[in-house]
Amino acid sequence: MHLHILGVCGTFMGGLAQLARAAGHQVTGCDAGVYPPMSDQLRGAGIELIEGYDPSQLSQQADVYVIGNAISRGNPLLEAILDAGLPYVSGPQWLAEHILQGRWVLGVAGTHGKTTTASLLAWILEDAGLAPGFLIGGVPRNFGVSARLHGDLKDSPFFVIEADEYDTAFCDKRSKFVHYRPRTVILNNLEFDHADIFNDLAAIETQFHHLVRTMPANGLIVSNAAESALNRVLERGCWTPVVGFGATGGFTVDGDDATGRLSVREGDTVIGDITWALTGDHNRMNALAAMLAARHAGVPLDKGLDALSRFENVKRRMEVRGVERGVTVYDDFAHHPTAIATTVAGLRRKVGNARILAVIEPRSNTMKLGVMKDLLPGSLADCDQVYCYGANLGWDAAQALRPMGRRAEVHEDFNAMLQAIVGNAQAGDHILVMSNGGFQGIHSKLLEALLSS
């Protein structure tokens, strides 16, 4: 089968392309501004990439056109496909029908932590010799790739997928995860996000209940019992066993960031104790959820815990990009205020009283709408200085950050902001860059500027 994928350089669609290629299909794709690192991965996998969406791409004569959810009506190639009556399908539907069918799917859902938790789960299964396939919205360092397919279902039926609640495609406004039909699912947390497609938290809860309704009776739901929104979802109706975590009396986890200790308990019984590389209560909860999901696939809790001592984290999750002039530059994917606050808190625990210079780019659809702008000062309160890139926003970032006083600066000129950061940075500082995009390569530009200053 020849697939031509529209929006191929997105994390999900790029992973799908690599899975399709590994399954033996011919794959081509296009995107606006074909860009690395995904473009490099795709070319390395033998996938031809085309810049833009010109209708002339119909000459590819693909058997099916796979449409990414970034593609909207009015896109010239999509319009040509529709006018010609050519076969098309959403990415999640194609994945479900051609890759996931017959596999034991382990899905990881939640507002925050999906990438890290899915990476943890895939690694636990890998360490136990179960060789899972996976599609993850980031690059786990233990694997070095975001997607992998193991074709022999008898030897390796397991497939870990990051189960996203964002909509599927222009033609299918259900959440992506309703297509995946997991046997095991993690419900990690749930709060309001994606204000561009959801009116309120209740609307997202409805989508999560659609996911619950797809679960088989012999499956397992691993749910954060401390999350009231998730409890409301399950109260709507549940036909699958549920294992709760994070609440008193059930499975709990604690640890110490200074020593790297991680301890897991069931009630008063200690399951085990390890040293690992990640910090923060959120990552400890991610680890617990992954262990419980892996247990459903046959990995004992103590073996799962032991595997975590060898977990190497995910790129763009508190990733140190370099140190120059005594200043450490970090890259983190945080963009929702809750994730920003959690990331800042984790770095504060790590660096103590050292200065944290936060650099944020509010570029997600939700943040561009300004729905959560009033939460930003609180999420950044533990930073010593904040630099916000305010270009192309539909709201006044300076006004939103005014409660921070002189500790916050808003710049619409990228180079001016870069100069301001470097001019303020001192030996011993920690520059924390938070964005869900490439941010114009700011990390390397900061390091270069620090080196030459």
Looking at the structure, tell me whether residues 13 and 143 fall in a common domain. Answer: no
Is 90 exceeded by the pLDDT of residue 223?
yes
State how many domains the chain has: 3
- 97 lies in some domain: no
- 96 lies in some domain: no
Give the mean pLDDT of 135-163: 86
- 314 lies in some domain: no
Answer with the one of 91, 121, 143 that is the final residue of a domain. Answer: 91
Which residue type sits at 343?
T
Answer with the one of 277, 308, 339 that is the final residue of a domain. Answer: 308
Q: Which of 170, 168, 255, 171 has its CA nearest to residue 211?
A: 168
Separation CA 343–CA 364 (nearest Å): 17
Looking at the structure, tell me whether residues 299 and 368 fall in a common domain. Answer: no
- Say if CB 261 and CB 122 are below 8 A apart: no
Looking at the structure, tell me whether residues 185 and 276 fall in a common domain. Answer: yes
Q: Write down the pLDDT at residue 153.
A: 65
> DSSP state, 2?
E
Is 90 exceeded by the pLDDT of residue 92?
yes
What CA–CA distances, in Å, run from 453 to 323, 325, 418?
14, 9, 12
Is 80 exceeded by the pLDDT of residue 346?
yes
Average pLDDT, the chain: 90
- Say if CB 180 and CB 133 are below 8 A apart: no
**Residue 345 CB contacts under 8 Å (≥ 6 apart), including other chains:** 280, 382
We report the CATH number of the domain holding residue 362 as 3.90.190.20
Please state the φ and ψ torsions of residue 386, each to the nearest 5 degrees.
-125, 135
- 184 lies in some domain: yes
Q: Write down the pLDDT at residue 390.
A: 84
Q: If DSSP codes are grouped into helix, strand and coil, which group holds residue 353?
A: coil
Q: Write down the pLDDT at residue 152.
A: 65
Looking at the structure, tell me whether residues 117 and 60 fall in a common domain. Answer: no
234-267: pLDDT as tens digits: 999 999 999 999 876 588 888 888 788 999 988 8
Looking at the structure, tell me whether residues 45 and 171 fall in a common domain. Answer: no
Looking at the structure, tell me whether residues 35 and 70 fall in a common domain. Answer: yes
Q: What percent of the chain has pLDDT over 90?
A: 63
Picking from 28-37, 163-172, 317-326, which range would have the lowest pLDDT averaged per residue? 28-37
Looking at the structure, tell me whether residues 286 and 335 fall in a common domain. Answer: no
Q: Write down the pLDDT at residue 104.
A: 96
Picking from 217-221, 299-303, 345-349, which range would have the lowest pLDDT averaged per residue? 345-349
424-451: pLDDT as tens digits: 999 999 999 998 777 888 998 999 999 8
Is 90 exceeded by the pLDDT of residue 166?
no
Q: If DSSP codes are grouped into helix, strand and coil, which group holds residue 212?
A: helix
**Residue 310 CB contacts under 8 Å (≥ 6 apart), including other chains:** 123, 127, 142
- 54 lies in some domain: yes
Report how far apart the first and last C-alpha atoms of the chain are (Å, whole number): 54
Is 70 exceeded by the pLDDT of residue 409?
yes
Q: Which range scores top for mean pLDDT: 119-133, 248-262, 332-346, 384-398?
A: 119-133
Answer with the one of 91, 118, 136 that is the final residue of a domain. Answer: 91
Give the mean pLDDT of 101-118: 93
- 415 lies in some domain: yes
- 267 lies in some domain: yes
Is 80 exceeded by the pLDDT of residue 335?
no
Looking at the structure, tell me whether residues 70 and 131 fall in a common domain. Answer: no
Separation CA 437–CA 425 (nearest Å): 23
Separation CA 175–CA 110 (nearest Å): 12
Looking at the structure, tell me whether residues 145 and 51 fall in a common domain. Answer: no
- Say if CB 241 and CB 221 are below 8 A apart: yes
Is 90 exceeded by the pLDDT of residue 359?
yes
**Residue 198 CB contacts under 8 Å (≥ 6 apart), including other chains:** 192, 204, 207
We report the CATH number of the domain holding residue 37 as 3.40.50.720
Does 39 or 63 have the greater pLDDT score? Answer: 63
Which residue type sits at 138?
G
Is 70 exceeded by the pLDDT of residue 154?
no
- Which structural domain, as residue segments, surrounds residue 437? 319-452
Looking at the structure, tell me whether residues 166 and 186 fall in a common domain. Answer: yes
Read off the tokens for 35: 């860009």
Looking at the structure, tell me whether residues 141 and 77 fall in a common domain. Answer: no
Give the mean pLDDT of 197-219: 92
Give the mean pLDDT of 1-27: 93
Separation CA 414–CA 401 (nearest Å): 18
Looking at the structure, tell me whether residues 212 and 352 fall in a common domain. Answer: no
Q: Write down the pLDDT at residue 151.
A: 60
Does 109 or 266 have the greater pLDDT score? Answer: 109
We report the CATH number of the domain holding residue 260 as 3.40.1190.10
Dihedral, CA of residue 53, residue 193, residue 14 and residue 359, to nearest 10 = 90
Read off the tokens for 312: 């190497």
Is 80 exceeded by the pLDDT of residue 364?
no
Give the mean pLDDT of 14-35: 90
- 76 lies in some domain: yes
- Say if CB 132 and CB 107 are below 8 A apart: no
